[in-house]
Amino acid sequence: MSSSTPDSSTPDSSTPDVPATAASRTAAPDDAARQVALVVGAQGVIGRGIVDELLRRGDWDVVGLSRRGGETAPRLRHVAVDLLDPAASRERLAGLTDVTHVFYAAFQDRPTPSELVAPNVAMLRNVLDAIEPVAPGLRHVSLMQGYKVYGAHLGPFTTPAREDEPGHMPPEFNVDQQALLEERRAGAAWTWSAIRPSVVAGYALGNPMNLAMVIAVYASISKELGLPLRFPGTQGAYDTLMEMTDAGLLARAVVWAGTDERCADGAFNIANGDLFRWNRMWPAIAGAFGLEVAPPLPLQLDAVMADKEPVWDAMVERHGLAPNAYADVSSWAFGDAVFSWDYDFFADGSKARRHGFHEHVDTEAMFLEIFADLRRRRVIP
Ligand SMILES: NC(=O)c1ccc[n+]([C@@H]2O[C@H](COP(=O)([O-])OP(=O)(O)OC[C@H]3O[C@@H](n4cnc5c(N)ncnc54)[C@H](OP(=O)(O)O)[C@@H]3O)[C@@H](O)[C@H]2O)c1
């Protein structure tokens, strides 16, 4: 049971660096044998980035899977299905006979760790049950995990967390999903990889874990109400060491690990590569909104922002914003969780580097670019 060994089948961590192309299975853009990716959770803050990255590369055909579906584009089609329904999943995925890679980044939110297990394990199982029998060319299944594997959400955890940290007391759906992959891998022709990002920043609407959106909407409403920007967490959280993962960087890492044989059957921490403290980041964020910074004041955003829908609706009208419902730009409970972490929150990213992934992102620049992107999309003023 992998709950005691979160990275029980990782490759030798002493594997020397090898040029990224040397062992890559990625085909050249004009290769006749195109690769076909099934991106599960294609409308999520992580899945959207994976779809974009695969399309950018030019040598992939992409199938996006979610309940809501999406717009087709060259080399992109969507399947809309509820993965909690096994029969519907088998029926809707039966035609995906050419899938070579599954990139799994779906997520069902539930209030407690134990409630998260059943739906999230069932969705992954239903994908495997539907795809394995029909797609003989399946080569790889990539699983999106997170620092929950290390108990990061429970309290102070060992930092920098390594992929081979000892497990913690279940329930933990990420660990059970990995155990399912390891079990199904036995005797299969495909390999798996598990990617463990920190808090992810990217663009998505209507998702429960979206920190950049939390900050952007909180700052925009602060401005609308004539308030300075106050960090809404504790002083301890303001001062602690933290790291984030850019959704674009994450997508590049996911595709790298999913196509490089050195990464087969292993887990990899992926973060931007710089540590920060909110007490330094907050003034830069305030600057991006033309706001003054005031001292932190711990708030329960989920409660305090609950009555701000009329403010948001008036902002949409007054600033000519895209007509996004307040619920679709609100991940307040997630903000409350992140801004309560008054302990070091980072992992050891050296294993990915040892295996050939060397990219990094400046986290301050990442935030500023995401806010600019949200303005371009008319999500915020
Ligand atoms: N966001 C973060 O900061 C973060 C950080 C570390 C790790 N992670 C992990 O990364 C994974 C993905 O998280 P995320 O934040 O990207 O999730 P997300 O933004 O909520 O996206 C979830 C995706 O799954 C789809 N989905 C949900 N229920 C479904 C169902 N029953 N059938 C089919 N599709 C379904 C959603 O689309 P529909 O709603 O249209 O179905 C959406 O495309 C999770 O395991 C999470 O723990 C996230």
All domains of the chain in start order, with CATH = 31-200+244-270 (3.40.50.720), 205-243+275-376 (3.40.50.720)
Atom of ligand 1 nearest to the CA of 211: 3
Residue 366 CA to ligand 1 center (angstroms) comes to 21
Shortest-distance Cα residue to atom 34 of ligand 1: 66
Per-residue model confidence as pLDDT tens digits over 27-49:
444 444 689 999 999 999 999 99
Per-residue model confidence as pLDDT tens digits over 345-378:
999 999 999 999 999 999 999 999 999 999 999 9
pLDDT computed for residue 27 by the predictor? 40
List of the chain residues with pLDDT < 70:
1-33
Helix (H) or strand (E) holding 302: helix 301-304
pLDDT computed for residue 16 by the predictor? 31
- Given a contact cutoff of 8 angstroms between Cβ atoms, the answer to whether 233 and 199 are in contact is no
Please list every protein residue whose CB sits less than 6 Å from any atom of ligand 1: 41-47, 66-68, 82-84, 105-108, 123, 144, 146, 197, 199-200, 204, 207-209
Query: How many CA atoms lie less than 13 Å away from 82 in the CB half-sphere?
Result: 4
Atom of ligand 1 nearest to the CA of 173: 45
SS3 116: helix
Residue 105 CA to ligand 1 center (angstroms) comes to 6
Atom of ligand 1 nearest to the CA of 69: 40
- Angle at the Cα of 352 from the Cα atoms of 33 and 249, rounded to 5 degrees: 70
284 vs 15: CA distance, rounded Å: 39
Structure tokens given for 259 = 């196509």
pLDDT computed for residue 5 by the predictor? 35
340 vs 20: CA distance, rounded Å: 39
Atom of ligand 1 nearest to the CA of 120: 45
pLDDT computed for residue 11 by the predictor? 35
pLDDT computed for residue 34 by the predictor? 80
pTM, two decimals, is 0.93
pLDDT computed for residue 362 by the predictor? 98
300 vs 335: CA distance, rounded Å: 9
Residue 31 CA to ligand 1 center (angstroms) comes to 32
Distances (CA, A) of 18 to 153, 218, 263, 350: 34, 44, 12, 14
Which residue bears the tokens 């294609």? 42
